[in-house]
A and B are shown apart, each in its own frame.
Chain A
C-alpha cells in the first residue's frame, strides 16, 4: 500500500512505516488503542489514520436506491436479467436470472435440471434486448459427460423455441463456439478450474454465464458423513470464489444441486425452508444454503402434458426462496426444442402425486 497517497500528515505516515505496516488490511484489523501503542501516535491521529485508510479501501461511495432503479449504477444493479427463453418461466422469475449472485437449481435425477442449464447456455448468447447477455457460457461437468448430442438438437431447434426472434439472428449465432466445457473429476480440479481458467474467460468477455453441474456430486463423494466441518470449509471457499466472480463480472452463476431424502419428520436441527410435506430437500445442508441467493426446485410430476400432439412428463419449477420473488411455482415440460412453461389453464394435467 502506498502510504504517501493518503491524505495524512507526513508525521503519521512516517510512524506507520516505522511500525512496519504493509497493507490497508493490517491497519484496519488493528484496533485504535493497539495502533496507538504500536505507532506511538495519539488517539486523534489514529482516528485520522483509520479514516484515511478506510476511504482508500472503499470502492465506491454510497448511492441511493433511486439511482439504482434508474440504472445509473450498472455496477451495482444492472437492471436486466438473463432470460430462460420462455415467457412463462421468465414471468415466474420476474424477468429471468439475476446477474449477480448464485442461483441454485435442485431436484431429483431425471427432473430436467441439465435441460434448463443447456437452454440457458444458448439463451445467454443472444443480444441484451432479446434477453441474453451477448456472450458465451462455461459449463463445468462433474457428474456425467457433457450431453453434446442434446445440445446440437437444441441448437437446431432454436427457431421453434424462439419464434419471437428473427430467423436471421438465430442462424447468425455460432452457439457451439461460445460454450466452453470443462470436466472436473475431483475437488482440486474444480477449485483450480474456477479460480484459474474461468476468470480468464470472464475477463476477456468471452463468457457471462457459469454453470456447475452439479455442485453436490464432488462434495458428497469426497467427504465422509463425519467430516462435515471440512466439507463446509471447502464449500465456503468454493462458493466464495463463485460469488466474487459473479459480482465482479456481472455473470450469473447457476449451480445444480442434488436432493436428499427426508426420512424422519420435522427435525429442529435441520431447516426445511418451509417445504412441508416434501420428501426431498436440497443437499449440502445449511452451509451451502447460506451462500445461495435464489433457490429453485424442480420436481417431476406424474401424468402427461400435451403440446402439438407431442407429450412430455410435466415438471414443477418452484421458487423456494429469493430476495425479490414470492413462493411461487409454474409447470413446464421438456420438449425437443427445450424447456417451455405451461400456462395455467391446461386441462390434461394431473399434478397430484408430486414428490
Chain B
C-alpha cells in the first residue's frame, strides 16, 4: 500500500499527529496495534482504533482505486456530446447556445424584472421532458423557487403548448406516436418537482440535500434556482460572508452538475451601478459572482424588443438574439422589421400594448 498519510480520510488533527510522529505512508501503520499507536503518536485510544479500522476496511479497494482513470480529450468530447442539451423552443437562442442549454454545466440568467427570466425557466422545466425521439432529453426537473413566482397555471399553459408543438412534429413513425400518447399535460406537470425556500438558510439546506435527491431521482436533468439573488440581497451585514456562501454554493452546484449530469440554471437580478457619473444596469450579487456560473445569459429590453445576450461562454461565441413571450411560452420573435426605438416612441398608439386584450372571461 503506497498511500501517503495526508491522503487518508481522517480528521486533520489526527493526520498532523501521525505525520509528526514519523508515519508517512499507510503501510507504516498497518502493523501497529492500537495501544502502540496511541502511545507513539499521542492520540486517544478511540482515535487509534478508528485509524486502524479504516485502514483495514479499505485495504483492498484502495489498490484498485489507486490510479485514477485518465481521459483523453476525445473521450471528454464524446461524453459532453452524449450529455445533450435542453432546447428552449426559441431557435435563435438554441443556435446561439449551440443546441440549447447544456447539461452538466451551470448557466446564469440575469435580467430586469418582467423581462422573462421566470418564463424561460418554466419553459426549460417543460422542455427537458420532451421525449428522446423528438430530440429532447426525456428527463424531469427540480424547480427551487425563492421568490414565490412559480405559478402553476402558467406552467400548465406552456405544457399544453409543448404537447401541441410535438403533435405537429410527429410524423407517422410509430415510436413518435407512442411517445406522444404518453406525453400529456398531466404527465408533464407530474415530472416537475417544486421546492419553495423562504430565506437563504433554507436555500443552503436545499442545496445540501440535492445530492440525495438527485440519487433518488436519477431522471432529473434540470435543476432551476429562481432566483438565487432574492434571498441573498438583504439581511447581510457582512458582505464577505455573503461572498463566501455564494462561492460555496457555486462550487456545490458545479459539482452536482457534473456528477449527476444535470443542467443547473440560476436566475439573477439586475442592479444599478454608478461609475464616472453614468449609471448602468449590471447583474447583482457582486463582481466575484460573475465567475460562478459557466455560462451567463443577460435578458434585457431594447425599446419594445426583448433581447437575450450570451455574455460569457467557454464554447460559444457572444451573440445577441431577439425573443418574445407568448401565450405558449418562450418563443422566437416574429420576423417583422421592427421600428427603431426613436420612431416607436412616437408611433406607439396606446392600444398596442394590449396585444390580447382579455375581454372574455378566461376563468
Taken together as a complex, chains A and B put the C-alpha atoms of A320 and B202 apart, in Å, by 31
With A91-B359, A265-B345, A328-B357 in contact, do A101 and B149 touch (Cβ < 8 Å)? yes
Task: State which of A36, A59, A63 has its C-beta within 8 Å of the C-beta of B11.
Answer: A36
With A54-B205, A91-B360, A321-B113 in contact, do A62 and B350 touch (Cβ < 8 Å)? no
Residues in A whose Cβ lies below 8 Å from that of B358: 91-92, 94, 328, 330
The majority secondary structure among interface residues of chain B is mixed
Residue of A nearest to B50 (CB): A42
Task: Tell whether B9 is near chain A: CB-to-CB under 8 Å.
Answer: yes
Task: State which of B189, B212, B354 has its C-beta within 8 Å of the C-beta of A51.
Answer: B212
Task: Tell whether B260 is near chain A: CB-to-CB under 8 Å.
Answer: no
Task: Tell whether A323 is near chain B: CB-to-CB under 8 Å.
Answer: yes
With A236-B233, A329-B357 in contact, do A320 and B363 touch (Cβ < 8 Å)? no
| Per-position binary interface string of chain A over residues 32-55, scored 1 when its CB falls under 8 Å from any chain B CB and 0 otherwise | 000011001111100000110111
Task: Tell whether A169 is near chain B: CB-to-CB under 8 Å.
Answer: no
Q: Indicate if the CB atoms of B194 and A276 lie closer than 8 Å.
A: no
In the complex, how many angstroms separate the beta carbon of B6 from the nearest chain A beta carbon? 13
Task: Tell whether A196 is near chain B: CB-to-CB under 8 Å.
Answer: no
Q: Indicate if the CB atoms of B241 and A330 lie closer than 8 Å.
A: no
In the complex, how many angstroms separate the beta carbon of B114 from the nearest chain A beta carbon? 3
Interface size for B (C-beta < 8 A) is 87
Q: Indicate if the CB atoms of A324 and B209 lie closer than 8 Å.
A: no
Task: Tell whether A88 is near chain B: CB-to-CB under 8 Å.
Answer: yes
Q: Indicate if the CB atoms of B354 and A328 lie closer than 8 Å.
A: yes
Q: Indicate if the CB atoms of A91 and B198 lie closer than 8 Å.
A: no
Q: Indicate if the CB atoms of A277 and B348 lie closer than 8 Å.
A: yes
Task: Tell whether B234 is near chain A: CB-to-CB under 8 Å.
Answer: yes
Task: Tell whether B334 is near chain A: CB-to-CB under 8 Å.
Answer: no
Task: State which of B194, B245, B354, B357 has its C-beta within 8 Å of the C-beta of A29.
Answer: B245
In the complex, how many angstroms separate the beta carbon of A141 from the nearest chain B beta carbon? 25
With A274-B306, A323-B119 in contact, do A63 and B113 touch (Cβ < 8 Å)? no
Q: Indicate if the CB atoms of B113 and A286 lie closer than 8 Å.
A: yes
Q: Indicate if the CB atoms of B194 and A65 lie closer than 8 Å.
A: yes
| Per-position binary interface string of chain A over residues 224-244, scored 1 when its CB falls under 8 Å from any chain B CB and 0 otherwise | 000010000100110010011
Residue of B nearest to A11 (CB): B46
Residue of B nearest to A83 (CB): B363
Task: Tell whether B155 is near chain A: CB-to-CB under 8 Å.
Answer: yes
Residue of B nearest to A43 (CB): B9
Q: Indicate if the CB atoms of B209 and A55 lie closer than 8 Å.
A: yes
Task: Tell whether B270 is near chain A: CB-to-CB under 8 Å.
Answer: yes
Task: Tell whether A310 is near chain B: CB-to-CB under 8 Å.
Answer: no
In the complex, how many angstroms separate the beta carbon of A322 from the nearest chain B beta carbon? 8
Stretch of A148-156, A159-167, A213-221, A288-296 with 4 or more beta carbons under 8 angstroms from chain B: A288-296
Residues in A whose Cβ lies below 8 Å from that of B204: 28-29, 54
Task: State which of A60, A268, A273, A293 has its C-beta within 8 Å of the C-beta of B148.
Answer: A293
User: Can you add 17 more A-B contacts, CB < 8 Å, to A271-B301, A326-B355?
Assistant: A28-B201, A57-B202, A62-B195, A64-B190, A64-B192, A65-B192, A68-B189, A88-B359, A90-B363, A98-B151, A270-B272, A273-B112, A273-B115, A274-B115, A277-B346, A293-B147, A320-B114
Residues of A in contact with B (beta carbons under 8 Å apart): 24-25, 28-29, 31, 36-37, 40-44, 50-51, 53-55, 57-66, 68-69, 76-77, 87-88, 90-92, 94-95, 98, 100-101, 228, 233, 236-237, 240, 243-244, 246-247, 265-277, 285-287, 289-290, 292-293, 295, 301, 316, 318, 320-321, 323-324, 326-330, 343-344, 351-352, 354
23 contacts between A and B (CB under 8 A): A42-B11, A57-B201, A57-B205, A58-B195, A63-B194, A64-B194, A66-B190, A77-B151, A91-B359, A91-B362, A101-B148, A233-B234, A265-B342, A265-B345, A268-B281, A272-B303, A277-B344, A277-B346, A286-B113, A290-B113, A290-B269, A324-B153, A329-B353
**List of 6 A-B pairs having minimum Cβ-Cβ separation, nearest first:** A321-B114, A269-B279, A54-B205, A236-B234, A54-B208, A354-B350
